[in-house]
Structure formats: C-alpha cells, structure tokens
Amino acid sequence: MDNNLKISDFDYDLPIELIAQTPIEPRDASRLLVVRREDKTFTHRHFRDLGEFLRPGDLLIANQSRVIPARLLGYRPQTNGSAEVLLLTERNELGPDHWEALVRPGRRLREGAIIHFGPQDQPPRLIGEIQQRTEAGGRIVHFTVPDQQANSDDPYQLLSVRQRIDEIGRMPLPPYIHETLEDQERYQTVYARIQGSAAAPTAGLHFTPELLDHLRQQGVRTGFVTLHVGLDTFRPVEHENVSEHKMHSEEIELDAETAVLINETRQAGGRVVAVGTTSVRVLESVASIYDGEIAPYKGSTSLFITPGTPFRAVDAMITNFHLPRSTLLLLVSAFMGKELMEQAYQEAIKERYRFFSFGDAMLLL
C-alpha cells in the first residue's frame, strides 16, 4: 500500500437530494453508467440493458449473503429505559448465541447490563446480557430465550435465539436512509440465501429473476460466493493516512462449484464480472491466498484494496456509487484509476444519478 495515500483526496461533494431514499421499481429500472477503462468513455443506459455489454462465456460472481433483521429494540428492566442493539457478527468462538454488536445508550450498557426485548407489558421474548467491550467500541452480547414454554410437552415449540431475532428484529437500513422501507425484501437481493449480513450487498439489488434468466439464455453464467457484510461498510476512514486504517475481518466462502466455474471461464477467455465490492473482496482474497489461482476457500479476510493493489481475479465490476472517504471508494479507485473514478462520479452527479444503497449502478469494463 502507498503509505502517502490521504483519505481527504477521496472526498467529493454530493447534493443531498441525490441520496436515494427508496428503491426504484422494478429493480432493473435503475440507471447504469457504463465506464470503459481502456478508452475512458461513458455510456448512459438502464440496468435492464446489462446484457448488451456482456458476452457469451462471461461469468457473473455475486454475493449470496442475506441481511438479518439486525436492529433489535428493547428496554432495561431496572429502569424501563429504552435500549437498541445492532447486531454485527455472530461470535461462535465465545460460545453459542454470542454476538458482536453496537449498542445505545453505550454509556449505560456496561458489562453485566441486561436488556429485555418484546412488549414491556409481557414476559420478555429475548434477553441480552452485555459481556464485554470490543476494540472497535462495540459490545459482546450473549442472548438467551426465556423458557416461556416450560409447561409445554412439545420441545419444538421452543424457539432458538436466531428464530427470535428473525421474529422481532428490524431491517438495519443505512444511517443516510430516512424513509421507511415498505417491503423488507427490497433490501435483499433476489438470490440472497445465506443469513449473516448487517447490510445488503447493494450492487446485486438491481437484478430481477427475469434479467438473470435473460443473461443465462445469452450465455452469461452466474456463480455465487458469500461474504457477510458488516456495518464497517458505512464507516468513513477516520485516519488521514489511509495506511493507518484497520480493516475488520469478515467471513468469506468460495465453494468448489464456483471455483470450477471461475477456472473454466478464465481458461476459455471469458471475463469474471464481480457483482459488487464484496464479491471483489472474496475473489481477490482467494487469489491472494493461492498466489493468483482460484480454489475453494472458507475462512476470514481483512484484505484492504487501495490504489496500487493488483487485481488478479476480477476482469469487470458492477458497483453502486459509494460514500466519500470510504474503503469502497478506495477499492473502486484501485480498479478504475483515481482520475477516471473522479470523472465518472462528476458525470453521475451532473446527470442526476441516484447514489448509495438504493441508488443507481456502474458497470466498469
């Protein structure tokens, strides 16, 4: 990494009205800025036109992680004061049903504090105990389900902690979205199937089942990887010197079936098109582990892609427009070059594209 990289060089001014507050319908009606890196040209289209820019033999690699309803609203039984827990990642190495989370009000929720979840005039449906602080300022919370069915003869009536979270949790929309999301599934991709993310891999939100079918008929194949997105995605880089930023570790998986697809595509001269920065991080992490090769992998990554990082697995990328001063903007700059990234973002602002999670997309060729 370039030790002189300054995060202030990755800032830009965005008119607030360009931050998309609601998803567009249908999903593939969003706009698509096609950027050709070789000749630095821009083409304005819609996402449904994606097939015009892909070729038979190309391979889309998408992140199949599913967002959990990670926002839990509760209260402190001693005072009835409100408490909020935002689940980040499950920490099974600390024992079952331990989660790393952000909590509010942080100063009141110290070690040993208890939070009840559910209506205050009923027995709690879920109980959380604060166990320790994390390096990043969050907390480790141990959850239990109270034994409300003690008199039941049917053991299957007892819900797990994860089932209770699914029942009472709310979708954790990014902090810059202030509108209520009417349909919770609109913050999931149509192919999301493995639960674990605290935020959606948003580049994939533009796909419809019909568009995926159309691309398959065209000879474009699809493979899936898993990276559970943490809330660090939305955090700006706080150190002026980028080299001082610490990437949090995230769990990733690339299975044998997807590894075969990728290797077949590369051998046949097709392009590996990553859907979103999370897919990029999985592919490039695996390539860095196996010295440029792609093989099955399940484990963690803290790969930080910044300008100057070589790309060894990804040939093209679909991505949304990212927040200023973010690790995602650094990744996109690494792929397309900082100068071209700046030109593309200014073009998108001039043409009134919609930005961030529910916004429009770019295809970087």
Give the integer Cα–Cα distance in Å for 239 and 110: 27
| Res. 2 pLDDT band, cuts 50 70 90 | confident
Q: Say yes or no: 76 and 44 in one domain.
A: no
| Burial of 135 (C-beta count, 10 Å sphere; 0-12/13-18/19+) | exposed
Question: What pLDDT was estimated at residue 153?
Answer: 52
The reply to whether 312 falls in a domain is yes
- Both structure tokens of 246: 């610490």
**pLDDT on residue 150:** 47
Peptide bond preceding 26 in cis form (omega within 30 of 0): yes
**E strands of 168-215, at which residues?**
194-197
* Domain endpoint, select from 168, 203, 230: 168
The reply to whether 153 falls in a domain is yes
Strand ranges (E), 228-266: 250-254
What is the percentage of the chain residues whose pLDDT exceeds 70? 96
- The predicted-structure confidence for 286-334, as pLDDT tens digits, reads as follows 999 999 999 999 999 999 999 999 999 999 999 999 999 999 999 999 9
Total Cβ atoms within 10 A of residue 125: 17
Residues 139 and 257 in one domain: no
Residue 1 lies in a domain: no
CATH of the domain at 35: 3.40.1780.10
Alpha helices (H) in 113-208, listed in sequence order: 161-168
Query: Are residues 114 and 52 located together in one domain of the fold?
Result: no
Report residue 315 as tokens.
């040939």
136: left (phi over 0), alpha (psi -120 to 50) or beta: alpha
Top-confidence residue, 81 or 249: 81
Asked whether residue 101 falls in the same domain as residue 78, the answer is yes
156 and 289: one domain? no
Last residue of a domain, one of 133, 168, 203: 168
| Residue 27 pLDDT | 98
Residue 2 covered by a domain = no
How many CA atoms lie less than 13 Å away from 169 in the CB half-sphere?
20
Residue 323 located in a structural domain: yes
pLDDT category of residue 106 using cuts at 50, 70 and 90: confident
pLDDT at 151: 46
Q: Do 88 and 58 fall within a single domain?
A: no
Q: Determine how β-strand 65-67 pairs with β-strand 59-63.
A: unpaired
Q: What is the rounded distance in angstroms from the CA atom of residue 124 to the CA atom of residue 118?
A: 5
Q: Find the range with the poorest average confidence among 106-110, 206-210, 217-221, 266-270.
A: 106-110
Domain CATH for 84? 2.40.10.240
Same domain (yes/no): 129, 189: no
Residues 22, 108: one domain? Answer: no
Q: Which pair of structure tokens corresponds to residue 221? A: 């194949």
Pair (18, 121) in one structural domain: no
% of the chain exceeding 90 in pLDDT: 82
Task: Return the pLDDT at 236.
Answer: 78
Please compute the mean of the pLDDT values over residues 344-362 and round it to a whole number: 98
> Both 123 and 262 in a single domain?
no
What is the tens place of the pLDDT at every residue in 5-50? 999 999 999 999 999 999 999 999 999 999 999 999 999 999 999 9
pLDDT at 233: 67
Tally of domains within the chain: 2
Specify if 125 maps to a domain.
yes
pTM score, whole prediction: 0.91
Give the strands of the sheet with 59-63, arranged side by side: 41-46, 31-36, 361-364, 316-320, 272-275, 59-63, 221-227, 250-254, 297-301
Q: What phi and psi, each to the nearest 5 degrees, are found at residue 119?
A: -60, 140
Q: Are residues 253 and 181 in the same domain?
A: yes
For 313, other C-beta atoms within 10 Å of its C-beta total 23
Amino acid at 102: L
Domain boundary among 115, 148, 168: 168
Pairing of strands 41-46, 31-36: antiparallel
Interval 268-288: pLDDT, tens: 999 999 999 999 999 999 999
pLDDT band at 175 (very low <50, low <70, confident <90, very high): confident
Distance CA 108, CA 83 (A): 9
Average confidence score pLDDT of the chain:
93
254 shares a domain with 158: no
Instruction: Specify the pLDDT at position 107.
Output: 84
Task: Give 123-159 pLDDT, tens digit per residue.
Answer: 999 999 999 998 878 899 999 998 754 444 545 456 7
> Do residues 27 and 20 touch, judged by C-beta distance below 8 A?
no
Find residue 99's DSSP bridge partners.
Answer: 90, 141
Residue from 196, 193, 163, 170 nearest 90 by CA: 196
Asked if residue 252 has pLDDT above 70, the reply is yes
pLDDT at 148: 54
Inside any domain, residue 234: yes
Q: How would residue 221 be classed by pLDDT, with cut points 50, 70 and 90?
A: very high
Placement of tokens 């001269």 in the chain: 269
> Does some domain include residue 289?
yes
Residue 345, pLDDT > 50, answer: yes
Domain span at residue 311 reads 7-67+177-364
